Structure 1
């Protein structure tokens, strides 16, 4: 109560009175008060969830008005898989968007290729407007509007100075003893790679270097002693800059590229324009 009063710049008795009035109006207890403090009841949690939605709707309305009255200016908050950021896809989307609408600001929050909770919590709590990623959380699918844009090919990549890059023919059996740079074990790309080895009855390689950082991966590839996997878009973006070479091997599975947002949250004009640019860039790359 004291923290709430301080945050609202009112007295603690005023907070208690406001809650009591709300409980009288609702006809049910919203808080349980005990020796360890105050916690929400089930009804209180429902009220808070609806209150958050109401405040979010007001915020979206103010953002709409700001866009209409401020010469097309506004902010879109995007959660993006780190592979999209380091691989150039996010930069290409921003370039397309701001080339058309220079008054729009883009706030980018880096996520990962894992099904981790942080980015989904930000989406559910309206901290971000759009999540550009690989797949959805099955336990919250009913809350999401999921737009599947394309399937991305995975490339097995080395430096152009790596001994494997000099060979005419390379097979999966040649890769079992190599030093691999891979993400952690809950990465989609790593799972796909491991399946390729298992399907051929080969030993699944361990990660000599385990990291989610694409920047570190590229720097280590440049030393000429490592093998990794990356998406086709990331490979094309970094091939010349980092001296990369894609081995003539194909992965049987591909990585989905999806846009996710809340099903019952109407997008602002700024978010609509971001979505349009994302579709233009991603679908254009799949055709090219």
Structure 2
């Protein structure tokens, strides 16, 4: 027969329940630049200003008819200077936010908001300066207007697609769909400038062909790194904003400043690179001397 004491002993709990996990909401995560990133922006701004002044001085004794490359290259670094000043001074940026989840083992996943700082001035800069760089290459190679226009349009679509992707949710087709569109547009840029330009530049001689080939290869190599950095930084959020700033700073200096010095110094020593726009560049459309007007009364 079982005694009452044995029944009480059997009914005792074998283990003490642990505390109930407390679920604390996860605050929004912000990925933004720090003092290191801001210093980098100021340094690049100063270098772009110095480059603009240097390019202007290089064109000081150059006749207007031979100043086309100088004007385009100087405008490129001036626009870049304005962009970097806007970013360095704390303007021209906003946060792109998307939903994310903080995973736990014993409780449900906790949703939170992830926000990354996007410098939209960078895309305004690229939308204006990269077409100018393409004009430099197209004028150097003697590319016809149709291919030049298509290259510029494809380039603008590429930049705008990157901006739309940066503000999209990085876990949706919206984000990576725009990224793919931008990459396809870049292929069209390569076709119209590099492939077609290589064919057209042969009519200008061996020296210009070599110069164009070197500049085009350098430009396309640098430009190809941009979507790689974008995919790691603004795409997958695997790179800090400061590192992103530094990476783009190096690329911008190579693509604009180094390219500009290389082109202008080579252009000065190579008369074959002069561009003849039929008098429009230096005299305008209404001031061509010696033109016969059919239908004038006198």
TM-score, normalised with respect to structure 2: 0.21
Q: Determine which structure has more spread, i.e. the larger CA radius of gyration.
A: 2
Bigger relative CO (Cα 8 Å, ≥ 6 apart): 1
Name the structure with the higher helix share.
2
Name the structure with the higher strand share.
1
